[in-house]
């Protein structure tokens, strides 16, 4: 199984494109999980148990990648031999990094001021930015097939995802 | 993640956190980011007329290793020429902080921040000469 990696889109029988067929992904994911559920293999030979477990694990991993726009885009680029997050590439557009710094500083200030309102405001700005990047990725990956530009947008989306995760964490801390 | 004592020391007592006046003609700014972890790093250096770095400040949003890497380089930069600064390698930073392989990219980020700050100050100096 390791030697020929299974394509995540094919695993769930959905079109290999950025614009996701969510309904088919959800229903085929559930089917795969139930077909490979350990309960079904209680009295099965060890080799079958192992295969079922491996398939369930693979389906989990594939599902989590396809569900996340940033991970899905990164995965699609990987299929074309592009590593969107290569360590050696730290150059990002200056204005994008400035914006990142600004968001980070505002989160820090809002955290100090314990202002959930301000954090929600930043989160909604990030949501807008996320949506605009997702629209761009659909255009670049599915329509224009412009992988170089798609790589740049994917990198931005990964940064935004990280800021969103950090905001959620701060809001959770303040809620406690 | 087990951090080395040196990383912990810089992480808990980061040196030279802050900003310099970005409009000062003697100040160069380097901004870099690592998409692998979403870390962002800003490094600012103040360079005197003899090309010596008089002051360095940083602001890093990221993991302990990224903060320690940038804190360490601000200490190293002071008193060096911009050419010496440009020659600093990420491997020296990683070695000093005993960074594990998965955190090497943090030292790459710091090296790239220095190079970006030096490039910025050189561009400012060139613009001044041209003016």
pLDDT tens digits for range A137-163? 999 999 999 999 999 999 999 999 999
**Catalytic positions of B:** 37, 106
Cα end-to-end distance, chain A, whole Å: 45
What pLDDT band is residue A1 in, cutting at 50, 70 and 90? very low
Q: What is the mean pLDDT of residues A80-106?
A: 87
Confidence of residue B34 (pLDDT cuts 50, 70, 90): confident
Which DSSP string do the residues of chain A spell out, in sequence order?
--SSPPPHHHHTT--SSSS--HHHHHHHHHHHHHHT-GGGGTTS-HHHHHHHHHHHHHHHHHHHHHHSHHHHHHHHHHHTT--TT-TT-----HHHHHHHHHHHHHHHHHHHTT-HHHHHHHHHHHHHHHHHHHHHHIIIIIIS--HHHHHHHHHHHHHHHHHHHHHHHHHHHHH-
Q: How many CB atoms lie within 10 A of CB B58?
A: 27
Cross-chain residue pair A87–B31, CB shorter than 8 Å: no
**Are residues B40 and A84, on separate chains, in Cβ contact within 8 Å?**
no
CA distance A101 to chain B (A): 7
Residue A13 has pLDDT above 90, yes or no: yes
Residue A90: the pLDDT is: 73
Whether the model pTM is above 0.80: yes
Assess B108–A contact: CB distance below 8 Å, yes or no: yes
> CB of A100 within 8 Å of any CB in chain B?
yes
On the 0-12 / 13-18 / 19+ scale of CB atoms within 10 A, B111 is buried
Where does the pLDDT of residue A115 fall: very low under 50, low under 70, confident under 90, or very high at 90 and above?
very high
> In the structure, what pLDDT confidence band is assigned to residue B95 with cuts at 50, 70 and 90?
very high
Closest residue in B to A98 (Cα) is: B31
Report chain A residues whose CB lies below 8 A from the CB of B42: 97, 101
């Amino acid at each position: 199984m390791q030697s020929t990696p299974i394509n995540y889109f094919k695993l769930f029988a959905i079109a290999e494109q950025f614009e996701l067929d969510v309904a088919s992904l959800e229903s085929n994911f559930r089917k795969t999980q139930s077909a490979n559920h350990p309960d079904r293999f209680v009295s099965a030979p060890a080799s079958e148990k192992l295969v079922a477990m491996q398939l369930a694990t693979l389906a989990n991993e594939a599902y989590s990648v396809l569900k996340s726009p940033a991970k899905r885009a990164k995965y699609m680029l990987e299929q074309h031999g592009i590593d969107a997050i290569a360590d050696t590439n730290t150059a990002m557009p200056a204005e994008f990094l400035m914006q990142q710094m600004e968001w980070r500083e505002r989160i820090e200030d809002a955290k100090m001021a314990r202002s959930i309102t301000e954090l929600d405001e930043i989160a909604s700005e990030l949501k807008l930015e996320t949506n605009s990047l997702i629209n761009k990725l659909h255009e670049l990956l599915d329509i224009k097939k412009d992988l170089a530009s798609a790589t740049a947008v994917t990198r931005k989306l990964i940064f935004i995802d990280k800021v969103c995760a950090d905001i959620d964490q701060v809001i959770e801390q303040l809620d406690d | 993640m087990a951090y080395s004592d040196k990383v912990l020391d810089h992480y808990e007592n980061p040196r030279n956190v802050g900003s310099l006046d970005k409009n000062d003609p003697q100040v160069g700014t380097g901004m870099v980011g690592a998409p692998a972890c979403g870390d962002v790093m800003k490094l600012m250096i103040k360079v005197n007329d003899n090309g010596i770095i008089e002051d360095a400040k940083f602001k890093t949003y990221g993991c302990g290793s990224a903060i320690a890497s940038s804190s360490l380089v601000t200490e190293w930069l002071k008193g060096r020429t911009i050419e010496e600064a440009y020659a600093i390698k990420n491997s020296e930073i990683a070695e000093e902080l005993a960074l594990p392989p998965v955190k090497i990219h943090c030292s790459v980020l710091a090296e790239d921040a220095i190079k970006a700050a030096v490039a910025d100050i050189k561009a400012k100096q060139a613009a001044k000469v041209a003016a």
